[in-house]
Amino acid sequence: MKAKHGLFSHLSKDVPASIVVFLVALPLCLGIALASGAPPFSGIIAGLIGGIVVAGISKSSVSVSGPAAGLTVIVLSGVQDLGNNFQAFLLVVAAAGIFQILFGIFRLGIIGYWFPSSVIRGMLAAIGLILIMKQIPHGVGYDKDFEGDESFLQPDNENTFSEILNAFNFISPSAVIICIISMAILILFDTKLIKQFKVFQFIPGSLIVVVLGIVLNEFFTKQGTGLSGDHLVNLPVAGSTQEFFGFFSSPYWTALSNYTVYVLAIKLAIVASLETLLSVEAADKIDPFKRVTPTNRELIAQGSGNLISGLIGGLPITAVIVRSSVNVNSGARTKMSAIFHGTWLLIAVALLAPFINKIPNASLAAILLMTGYKLSKPTLYKEAWSRGMDHFMPFIVTIVAILFSDLLIGIGIGMVVGIYYVARANFKTVHRLHQHNDNYLLRFYKDVTFMNKAAIMETLENIPDNVTLIIDGRKSDFIDDDIIEALLNYQQAAELRGIRVILEGIPDYNDNTKSKS
């Protein structure tokens, strides 16, 4: 009975959360397909495969997979490189999946653990800010740009800030009202006043927002001010079973002899794997239960998804932090939420497209605006600052770099800054100076390499004249020849300043083993 109760408890959270993720994923899948120069339905295929297949194989509890905005450039340029043949590019997707499976088998998922927590937190905060800035135009009724555009520079020659300014020239009062009311409901659902009622523990505010958005827009339509066209979700509608299966397509097998397919596949596999590992790491950090995803299993799951997606006409798949964040914030407990969201996508395109197409983009914008705030709320910056500059600088640089470039470039820049602060911290802790009257002790710790030379020499230069200095290397496992040479030179020159230098545990200059008793 207890097990059944636990299962019911999880499903009572996972099912409503999956509906919210599905509603957010739907326009993203369509928009990313359009941005990639691919058939609209290819994004839907990737979304349902990411849910049903990838989540089924993966051991991640909260991450959601599907088409990613970060891969649009690779898809767009890849299709062009293959003679504007999308079906030839499907071979690239399938081959990339095979490479990812091999990455997982050879345990390359360990790379996901190499990213500093400050950079991952910076990525989450940056995604939050991007969500806010990218959804403001949709919130005021300007829906010309595609959903899911995460890059600062956009294909329509706008950038994030110019797009916001331009959007205010096309304000739709109906969209603004729907968005504001939707945000008010979402804020209200986060208060103790609402949470105390058990019924609202099973009905997420996001679901109410979507239903209310449809009702409000129907009311505005009767008044002659309703939203239509680009302002609503635009899902392909199949008139028959035959037409529905016509949305799927198979690869252009003749392209197997084209070496470009394999070059693009390797590139896609590497980028998709990196984005997946970053997103999964970030999703684990916001998981309320702090569960850890096996990264090698995740690469195998993603590879399996891409292999199948490529074979039936879908875009490439990665774990995506936006949908994963919505999943967590909607109360998901297990991977069943991601599986259900893929199932809803399949049911929606097969049976419910006319109803889904009534949802205003302004309602979805409100959900994403609130998700963005939760990912980048002020307390996150305050906490990063309180941890010191070694944590704060990689954190803030990652945010700025992602905002003004894209996800992978921003992460790369953040990593460089993070490595700098790690190296600087190691340089500081590799030696320590102690003083007692006219006696000084310089003690080495860890491995001492040529990279520590500048910091050590600066310390030695600040030793006053006419004192005794003991340089102790007995607690160090390795001392570089460059350091030994510098110490011997200093010992000789120090006599001119009246400094008596005693070397203890410093190996001979030519002793490369540096072993100590």
List the single range of 197-211, 249-263, 408-422, 476-490 with lowest mean pLDDT.
197-211
At residue 168, the pLDDT reads 92
Query: How far is 220 from 141, CA to CA, in rounded Å?
Result: 14
Q: Is the pLDDT of residue 516 over 60?
A: no
List the single range of 251-255, 331-335, 443-447, 485-489 with lowest mean pLDDT.
443-447
Buried b (16+ CB within 10 A) or exposed e, 33-49: bbbbbbbbbbbbbbbbb
CB 314 within 8 A of CB 268: no
At residue 501, the pLDDT reads 95
Q: Is the pLDDT of residue 511 over 60?
A: no
Helix axes 321-329, 336-347, angle to 10 degrees: 110
Q: Is the pLDDT of residue 508 over 80?
A: no
Q: Is the pLDDT of residue 392 over 80?
A: yes
Work out the average pLDDT over 110-136. Answer: 87
200: left (phi over 0), alpha (psi -120 to 50) or beta: alpha
Helix axes 259-286, 86-105, angle to 10 degrees: 60
> What are 211-221's pLDDT values in tens digits?
999 999 999 99
The three-point CA angle 46-110-75 to 5° equals 30
Of 4-8, 338-342, 362-366, 484-488, highest mean pLDDT: 338-342
Selected residue with higher pLDDT from 32 and 170? 170
Work out the pLDDT band at 28, boundaries 50, 70, 90. Answer: confident
User: Which 3-state string (H, E, C) describes 87-150?
Assistant: HHHHHHHHHHHHHHHHHHHCCHHHHHHHCCHHHHHHHHHHHHHHHHHHHHHHHCCCCCCCCCCC
Query: How far is 23 from 364, CA to CA, in rounded Å?
Result: 8
CB 423 within 8 A of CB 131: no
Return the number of other C-beta atoms located less than 10 Å from residue 244's C-beta. 17
At residue 512, the pLDDT reads 42
Work out the average pLDDT over 136-152. Answer: 74
> What are 172-201's pLDDT values in tens digits?
999 999 999 999 999 998 888 887 777 676
Work out the pLDDT band at 202, boundaries 50, 70, 90. Answer: low
SS3 503: strand
**Residue 62 DSSP class:** S
Distances (CA, A) of 348 to 230, 236, 342: 19, 10, 10
Nearest C-alpha neighbor of 265 from the set 89, 105, 95, 98: 95
Torsion on CA atoms 369, 360, 354, 148, rounded to nearest 10: -40
SS3 465: coil
Query: How far is 446 from 426, CA to CA, in rounded Å?
Result: 9
At residue 159, the pLDDT reads 81
CB 37 within 8 A of CB 72: no
List the single range of 99-113, 331-345, 356-370, 424-438 with lowest mean pLDDT.
424-438
Structural domains of the chain in order of their starting residue, each with its CATH number: 2-150+162-190+206-391 (no CATH), 430-504 (3.30.750.24)
For the record, the structure tokens of 51 come out as: 């849910």
Q: Is the pLDDT of residue 290 over 50?
A: yes
At residue 33, the pLDDT reads 86
